[in-house]
Structure 1
């Protein structure tokens, strides 16, 4: 069995990562377990919510997704669980976080900070950095707007807000989550990052376009897609060799 652990800074990244994993899995025999972790500083970190498959037995692939609750917890939670994940046979460890609240020019420093200080081991955790926020990826999959509401078109967005999600680079938007909120509010549709609202948005995304188009324009998303695809393809290569 192959194992992948994905640590996310929050609920939005967790929901997106889960949907992306299931899409890229195709017909693979995969189990997904989602954990949410709270605590720290004055109290121990603890798992407060578990969803999905409790035990990986009987599956070819097992994906553990951990919602760390905040951006700065992604690295520390990976570090705290690194030894246990290695002992459990995990082949890949990934952290997903927004660049915000840091500035655009801080991206290199954030990446360097993530890569520094890992224990000696067989796996180097990978960082996926959404610039400035993961909602930039949602903006870039502009076909989803008409699925949220048929009256929300690219032409209307361009007219009302002065940018074009179909042709402009959405990673250059300073506040993508606010952009998404403003666009939806054209039809009085809220986006305050509740679970229901995030699931509505993520369910409206065309993941074929995410993989084949958006991921070619956004480097970190492309890196995430390739990593997950390689995770699922590795078992097939091993079976072919046998």
Structure 2
């Protein structure tokens, strides 16, 4: 059985990563545990604890086990990887990944963040690194813009281009500073048809359920470097060497 852990910065990332894994693995032979990290931070007065949110039992058919940990803060993703990767290696994990975003930092800060994203330890033999979504996880959603019509039939690409100036098909979403606050862009698009977007469970879940994962996997990943990196890591994990 192959084992992987993925640390994420928040609820939206948690829901997306879980769904993406299910789609790539085709829901077969996988067991997923989802935990939420509470307390234990620098300014916390409570001890660190992991609360189980979901736990699919491992059985004799399980080929892949994935632990997803919601850190509830972007600045804890890398520190949790650094702190736990050796113990996870010793427990049989072959990948320890993190998913966090760049916002509110700027593109000029990305090289410095990437410099520390990969764990460098002579005793480490497994993959242990963070993947930085540029700019926010919502950038990945906007690249698969077709879901917007499922939210509201008025939100077609021509409508969005003409009324809001966002060419979600041709713009470089992870390079154009216009998309720096991607969650805010998504909210502007929603507001144009008298809706609103925020990172509540219900609204994040609705988007994640309406994304076309075939498009995301086959086309969109090639438009976004960080998404492609993440999907490549998942593909590698779900490949069993005969």
- Please, which of 127, 149, 153 is the counterpart of residue 156 of structure 2? 153
* Structure 1 residue aligned with 2:228: 222
State whether residues 30 and 63 of structure 1, in contact with CA within 8 Å, keep that contact through their aligned partners in structure 2: yes
Partner of 1:91, secondary structure, is strand
- Bigger drift between 81-90 and 12-21 goes to 81-90
- Please, which of 92, 100, 104 is the counterpart of residue 101 of structure 1? 104
Query: How far, CA to CA, are the matches of 2:200 and 2:190 in structure 1?
Result: 14
Where do 5+ consecutive residues of structure 1 fail to align? Answer: none
Query: How far, CA to CA, are the matches of 2:210 and 2:14 in structure 1?
Result: 16
Query: How far, CA to CA, are the matches of 1:212 and 1:47 in structure 2?
Result: 35
What is the CA distance between 1:29 and its match in structure 2?
A: 0.5
Where do 5+ consecutive residues of structure 2 fail to align? Answer: none
* Structure 1 residue aligned with 2:128: 125
Partner of 2:238, secondary structure, is helix
Query: How far, CA to CA, are the matches of 1:150 and 1:222 in structure 2?
Result: 29
* Structure 1 residue aligned with 2:183: 177
What is the CA distance between 1:117 and its match in structure 2?
A: 5.3
State whether residues 190 and 197 of structure 1, in contact with CA within 8 Å, keep that contact through their aligned partners in structure 2: no
Partner of 1:125, secondary structure, is strand
State whether residues 5 and 63 of structure 1, in contact with CA within 8 Å, keep that contact through their aligned partners in structure 2: yes
* Structure 2 residue aligned with 1:46: 49
What is the CA distance between 1:89 and its match in structure 2?
A: 0.6
Q: TM-score normalized by structure 2? A: 0.92
Stretches of 4+ aligned residues off by more than 3 angstroms: 116-119
Query: How far, CA to CA, are the matches of 1:119 and 1:188 in structure 2?
Result: 54
What is the CA distance between 1:45 and its match in structure 2?
A: 1.7
* Structure 2 residue aligned with 1:70: 73
* Structure 2 residue aligned with 1:209: 215
Partner of 1:177, secondary structure, is helix
State whether residues 28 and 61 of structure 1, in contact with CA within 8 Å, keep that contact through their aligned partners in structure 2: no
Paired positions, count: 235
State whether residues 142 and 186 of structure 2, in contact with CA within 8 Å, keep that contact through their aligned partners in structure 1: yes
Does residue 144 (structure 1) correspond to residue 120 (structure 2)? The answer is no
* Structure 1 residues 181 and 139, CA gap change in structure 2 (3 angstroms): same
